[in-house]
Amino acid sequence: MNIQVQPTPNPNALKFILDKTVKSEGKTSFKNPNQAKDVNLAAALFDLRGVDQIHFFQNVVTISKFTFEPWDTLEPAINTCLESHLDDHDPNFQEHDPELERRKNLPADLLQIEEILDRRIRPGLQGDGGDMSCVSFKENILIVRYQGACGTCPSSTGGTLEAIRGILREEYNPEIEVYIAPEE
């Protein structure tokens, strides 16, 4: 198995790019072991000391770690875990996707914002092992929540947020404000 490890803008997250698919459709973030209990690969990764969050997207597994655990010991353990469990992993695992349900009922203005984010913002976030979701939009104030590596990335509250604001002000409404929702 070929595993390439790449850094992300978040010093506490690494991307493990595999030569096999881990998620055939969509993306999945596991924020705790309970969420991962039905996906053996994710559950095994959570068994490693220091793993905080896991994000599956296509052939990429992004691991966010607690700051106390050094990458020197965690990275080799993650590689071993991936090598041991990937052959038995089903990339077609199904889960209830609340994002699909949520988008079915969105008003036209928020759908337009989502389209802009899908086109201009999310590919970059996903390339760095993360993503974002829109929590609410009222009175021209958009509240977003970061996912995966973006959730604990220091640049998410600065440069990334400013880029989101700038793009939405350019393409949607020059008066829009964008804020980050607190962690769940």
Same domain, 29 and 76: yes
Asked whether residue 126 falls in the same domain as residue 68, the answer is: no
**Do 38 and 83 sit in the same domain of this protein?**
yes
In order along its 184 residues, the chain shows pLDDT tens digits of 899 999 998 999 999 999 999 999 888 888 889 889 899 999 999 999 999 999 999 999 999 999 899 999 999 999 999 999 999 999 999 875 666 777 888 899 999 999 999 999 998 888 888 888 898 999 999 999 998 888 878 888 888 999 999 999 999 999 999 999 976 6
* Paired strand residues for 118: none
| DSSP H stretches of helix in the chain | 40-46, 71-85, 98-104, 108-116, 122-127, 159-171
Question: What is the distance between the alpha carbons of residues 182 and 184, in angstroms, rounded to a whole number?
Answer: 6
- The sign one gets for the Cα dihedral 137, 138, 139, 143 is negative
Q: 109 and 157, same structural domain?
A: yes
> Which of these three, 88, 117, 140, is where a domain ends?
88
Closest by CA to 27, choosing from 86, 93, 81, is 93
Nearest to 129 by CA among 2, 16, 3: 16
Closest CA relative to residue 83, chosen from 20, 8, 10, 152: 20
Q: Write the CATH number for 40.
A: 3.30.1370.70
Do 102 and 174 sit in the same domain of this protein?
Answer: yes
> Domain ends where: 35, 65, 88?
88
pTM check: above 0.75: no
DSSP state of 182: P
Q: What is the pLDDT of residue 184?
A: 63
pLDDT at 163: 94
pLDDT of residue 97: 60
Q: Are residues 103 and 82 in the same domain?
A: no
Q: How many CA atoms lie within 13 A of 53 on its CB side?
A: 23
In-domain check, residue 93: no
**What token pair was written down for 55?**
């994000």
Alpha-carbon distances of 46 from 36, 40, 55, 143, rounded to whole Å? 8, 10, 12, 29
| Partners of residue 150 on adjacent β-strands | none
* CA 79 – CA 61 distance, rounded (Å): 11
Instruction: Kindly state whether residues 117 and 176 are assigned to the same domain.
Output: yes
Query: Pick from 70, 88, 106: which residue ends a domain?
Result: 88
pLDDT at 98: 62
109 with 168, same domain: the answer is: yes
Nearest to 41 by CA among 19, 63, 25: 63
Domain count, the chain: 2
Q: Which domain holds residue 141?
A: 98-180
